[in-house]
Copies of this chain bind each other. A is one copy, B any other.
Amino acid sequence: MTIQEAARRSGLSAHTLRYYERIGLIHSVGRNSSGHRDYAEEDLRWLEFLTRLRTTGMPIAEMCRYAELRRRGPHTADERRELLESHRERVSSRIAQLTQDLKVLDYKIDNYREGRQS
């Protein structure tokens, strides 16, 4: 599929797709006879996972590290798992923190609702 289709389906811009490829996040997207990118379904699944890492706050550099491990083959599986586990902890803490913050916001809003300046 073309870069525009891949952009539409992944929710990323074509600019971003090229950028991701340039920095090594996506490896060797196929090209058609005229040198244009030709994305496969597997590329889209990988993009979807990358996007999930991004939206959960993983820095690009760390995503690159994960991508590189993946390219190196099955013997890097332990290292990849560890990377995901430590990210998992970050996400989990973030949820806990946001839940706390939400309570404070609710308290503030309640004060406003009851006409107390806060």
Contact = CB atoms under 8 A, between A and B. Distances in A.
Interface in A73-118: 74, 77-78, 80-81, 84-85, 87-88, 91-92, 94-95, 97-99, 101-102, 104-106, 108-109, 112-113, 115, 117
Nearest to A116: B77
Interface residues of A, number: 31
Q: How many copies does the complex hold?
A: 2
Interface in A39-90: 49, 52, 55-56, 74, 77-78, 80-81, 84-85, 87-88
Contacts of A113: 81
A74 to B, nearest CB: 6
Contacts of A112: 77-78, 80-81, 84
A94 B98 contact: yes
A98 B102 contact: no
A102 to B, nearest CB: 5
B88 A106 contact: yes
Given A56-B101, A81-B112, 8 more contacts: A52-B105, A56-B105, A78-B112, A84-B108, A84-B109, A88-B102, A94-B98, A95-B98
